[in-house]
Amino acid sequence: MTITNIPNRVEILKQKFTNSLGLPFRDLLLESTIREALNAENLSYRRRLFDPFVTLWVFLSQVLDTDKTCHNAVSRVITWLASVDAEIPSVDTSAYCQARKRLPENLLSRLFANVARDLGYQVTSEHLWCGRHVKVVDGSTVSMPDTLENQAAYPQPSSQAFGCGFPIAKIGALFSIATGAAVAVVVDVLNIHDIKLARLLYQFLNPGDVLLGDCAFCSYADLIFIQNYNCDAIFRLSQARKNQVERCRRKPISSFESIEVWRKPSTRPKGLTPEEFTSIPKTLTVRVIKYYIPSPGYRTKYVILVTTLLDPEIYPTTEIMRLYGQRWEVELDLKHLKTTLGMDVLRGKTPQMVRKEIYAYLLAYNLLRTVMWEAGTTHKVDPLRLSLQGARQHLDNFIPQLAWASNKKRVQLYQTLLKTIVHKSDFSR
């Protein structure tokens, strides 16, 4: 192949991906946006078929497809080039695989976070909780091929004999409760505690955010750390930990709610450095809400919520209870990433490729959330009630038509796609 043919083929592929996958991202992931991110990474690249732009779009289409093999991804490129009589590349996948390796981790991480941020800009007051943005934190795990590099970076569970398991990484993620988008993620070893992952995520909170989490994240120190970011928290207090809390004052608001002043633990928790422990104030004022959740046929759940939102008039008790009831939706978000999109078993043979895959999945996931948001807001339906699986299926089916349609027809197809996502949705996340 000659170098003069490459730019033409690159432009053909850019056009096809922009017309299909790129359409929902037309205001979020423009070529100029990708170029700006490349410049921020100081990345220079040669003129070749799989330049960063083409590689990124192929990578995205790969994780969205049910067939996630590199052979299928390259086959799609060959098909699109052959249809316009352009010179086709080799069926060998090495060029594409090498191109994926050249993509910087930070580029993919930056892009998925930027898409989530820009989608957040579309949130209006009607989608906020008591006028506040709410983020939800949770953790999960992913497995990967059993290579020496992966085992060194993300060892398999110690309970498994060597050679009888796969490397496993733990991920901690922040999701927007308004849009369902993944805002930030951190990746670490399996035996790291969830609360340590959460502390790495606090930096991605915006002033004024409310952080929602289960009992794994509720601690004296973390409530203060979150306040230091000018944010508030709503956590569930573990039944095992409730008797360990040192209360020095309590002011009842009702029979099931009170304002309490907690005393700093007398001994330093293992997860804190001496400097962090020393910097923590000696007392902390929190609001404690206790209530029951009756479950027919099961033992009644006794829930204790702890929050730094102290004013019951601005933040009514019923609203806090209702909001905590939505916390489980982050588990559905992680389930969609792992099962609907297939992120539970990764294919990267090195730790770097594993992390790139995770970021690519998050970027694809946020793409779907973008489509669902536009479908819901266009047709006056709550975007979070739409089916992500349905959105992925409809998008996959519309992609070939969007790629080859004229500009006028493409707009009609896209509006039909949005209508179909709403009309055929089973209204489950």
Per-residue pLDDT of 249-292, as tens digits, reads: 888 888 889 999 999 988 898 889 999 999 999 999 999 999 88
Residue-level pLDDT at 296: 67
Q: Note the pLDDT tens digit of each residue in 347-399.
A: 999 999 999 999 999 999 998 898 899 999 999 999 988 988 888 888 888 87
Distance, CA of 360 to CA of 75 (rounded, Å): 20
Say how many domains are in the chain: 1
Give the start-end residues of each E strand in 294-331: 301-307
Helix/strand/coil (H/E/C) assignment for every residue in 267-281: CCCCCCCHHHHHHCC
Q: How far is CA 171 from CA 51, 192, 337, in A?
A: 29, 10, 12
Helices (H), 154-311: 194-201, 220-228, 274-279
> Rounded to 10 degrees, what is the CA torsion of 376, 357, 389, 116?
-10
Does residue 25 have a pLDDT over 70?
Answer: no
Which of 91-100, 293-302, 308-317, 369-378 comes out lowest in average pLDDT? 293-302
Distance, CA of 352 to CA of 179 (rounded, Å): 29
Which of 238-247, 306-315, 330-339 comes out lowest in average pLDDT? 238-247
- Does residue 10 belong to any structural domain of this protein? no
- Does residue 68 belong to any structural domain of this protein? no
- Residue reference for tokens 């007051």: 125
- Does residue 188 belong to any structural domain of this protein? no
Task: Over range 187-205, report the average pLDDT.
Answer: 93
Residue-level pLDDT at 297: 64
- Does residue 287 belong to any structural domain of this protein? yes
- Does residue 67 belong to any structural domain of this protein? no
Q: Are 171 and 185 in contact (CB under 8 A)?
A: yes
Q: Note the pLDDT tens digit of each residue in 153-171.
A: 999 988 887 778 899 999 9
- Does residue 355 belong to any structural domain of this protein? no
- Does residue 361 belong to any structural domain of this protein? no
- Does residue 220 belong to any structural domain of this protein? yes
For the whole model, what pTM was predicted?
0.88
Domain that holds residue 273: 215-326
Sign, CA dihedral 180-186-187-189, equals: negative
